Structure 1
């Protein structure tokens, strides 16, 4: 089995003569050797009415995100 053609990479080839990691980087960024670090968003308050906790996902704190997921709510009353 062939190895990745990128310098100092000994992983097996998955596609286009690159390992899966370098192939994904090429697909996402156009360059197989680029490494980009994800930036964290600034912490914000939960968008549920009268809740001042910090968000965890989709603009809700952990408690309200759980409720949102369990009830599969389509519209949520939002603080303006």
Structure 2
């Protein structure tokens, strides 16, 4: 079994003589050694009128997103 060619990596090769992790880093950043930490976005308040709960999806809190989603299904497509 062939091993990843990146220094100190002992994982099996996926593609381009790199393991899955280093190959993905190479595809995303052009360098298999780059590590970037993904940061969560700053929480924003819900878009619903008079709701100050933090938004979770599409700008709505969980309660109002559910209402928004179910209303959109009920509307006929034009």
TM-score range, shorter chain: 0.7 to 0.9
The structure where helix makes up a greater share of residues is 2
For 1:6 and 1:72, the matched residues in 2 are separated by: 51
How many residues are matched?
73
Structure 2 unpaired stretches of 5+: 74-78
Q: 1: distance between equivalents of 2:64 and 2:34?
A: 37
Bigger CA radius of gyration? 2
Q: Point out which structure has higher relative CO (alpha carbons under 8 A, 6+ apart).
A: 1
Is there any run of 5+ residues in structure 1 with no aligned partner, and where?
75-80
TM-score between the two structures when normalised by the length of structure 1: 0.79
Q: CA 1:17–1:55 in 2, change beyond 3 Å: closer, same or farther?
A: same
Query: What is the TM-score normalised by the length of structure 2?
Result: 0.81
Q: Give 1:45-56 correspondences, 5 Å limit.
A: 45-56=45-56
